Amino acid sequence: MPTLQDIALKTSGSAAKLVSGHRMCAGCGIPVVLKEVLAASDKPVIVINATGCLEVTTAVYPYTAWNTPWMHLTFENAAAVAAGIEAAYKSLKHRGKINGEVNILAVGGDGGTYDIGFQALSGALERYHRFMYLVYDNEGYMNTGNQRSGATPFGASTSTVPAGKVSPGKPQWRKNLVEIAAAHRIPYVGQSAVHNTLDVFKKAQKGFSADGPAVLAVLQPCTTNWSFDSALTMQYSRLAVETNFWPLYEIENGIVHITSKPTNRKPIEDFLKGQTRFKHLFRPENQHVIVEMQEMIDDEWDRLVKLEASGVRF
């Protein structure tokens, strides 16, 4: 069983695959997510990185924060390139050109995963290429100004769906990427959150060792566009889990397993408070949105618990 100290040793010094020198926003959890995931690999890792916050801040020419083979792709084709690298790797091994073992990790934000890159991701999963896809989910197009994405939650105000006199924010519920990925009948899909280091690490280990494609979605609160104090990133990540807004669970070979069950579930208001994107919901005329949000969260949690209890393959 890994400890926090074990993970710390793998994310520092010469062992680190993502090092200092990046230009992430103060308080951003994306580097933490990447370090947790990369530490879970006991093999060299090839990273394929879609355009987004991670890419633009870790490879500002002529500098790089990467200490592992890394390739930058456009928003739409990270999974396709990962599939191509996996196919080339298998061919070279079959012909005896290389002998070593590697893990292949494709990485994207929610814009490059839920939306722009989804077709390539779905195709790669359906073709059963052996790689892990990691999405750091900050629930919007944060690199380009907080536009709404398929991951943006119901009721949030964004630059493209602003709250005002007519609209109380985004009218749609977010896309459920984990269940969509699981519907491709792949070996492993997990959902985690940046504050829970051991949970991220264990799920990344399972993803890397899966006999086929794997998907890992990790919540990463955006201090810039969720507009909270940069010291509170881990607090908001924890609140997302404690309110069941972002359940921690996995679907392994079609079987649902919840990896964290809040013993004293907090109301969704605890997560919404302090975020500029939700401040309009606390006006009297928008209170119904919070009520509806709570009902949806409760329904989704009850459904997830029933799926786990049934033991039926997803």
Nearest to 224 by CA among 174, 277, 162, 171: 277
Lowest mean pLDDT among 142-146, 172-176, 270-274, 293-297: 142-146
Q: How far apart are CA 290 and CA 136, in angstroms?
A: 25
Asked if the model's pLDDT at residue 14 lies above 70, the reply is no
Residue predicted with more confidence, 3 or 211: 211
Domains of the chain: which residue ranges? 4-310
Asked if the model's pLDDT at residue 7 lies above 80, the reply is no
Expressed in percent and rounded to 5, the helix, strand and coil fractions of the chain are: 45, 15, 40
Say if residues 295 and 287 touch (Cβ distance below 8 Å).
Answer: no
Asked if the model's pLDDT at residue 44 lies above 80, the reply is yes
Residue predicted with more confidence, 229 or 314: 229
Question: Which residues on adjacent β-strands are paired with residue 141?
Answer: 147
pLDDT band at 13 (very low <50, low <70, confident <90, very high): low
Kindly report the three-state secondary structure assignment for every residue of 4-54: HHHHHHHCCHHHCCECCCCCCCCCCCHHHHHHHHHHCCCCCEEEEEECCHH
Average pLDDT over residues 38-53: 95
Residues with Cβ within 8 Å of 139's Cβ and at least 6 positions away in sequence, in order, are: 110, 149, 151, 152, 153, 156, 174, 222, 226
Three-state DSSP state, 65: coil
Asked if the model's pLDDT at residue 125 lies above 90, the reply is yes
Asked if the model's pLDDT at residue 9 lies above 80, the reply is no
pLDDT in tens, 185-203: 999 999 999 999 999 999 9
Three-state DSSP state, 136: strand
Say if residues 195 and 237 touch (Cβ distance below 8 Å).
Answer: yes
Superfamily of domain 4-310: Thiamin diphosphate (ThDP)-binding fold, Pyr/PP domains (3.40.50.970)
Q: Read off the pTM.
A: 0.95
- DSSP letter for 113, please: I
Residues with Cβ within 8 Å of 61's Cβ and at least 6 positions away in sequence, in order, are: none
Cis preceding linkage at 267, omega within 30 = no
Structure tokens at 11: 């994310």
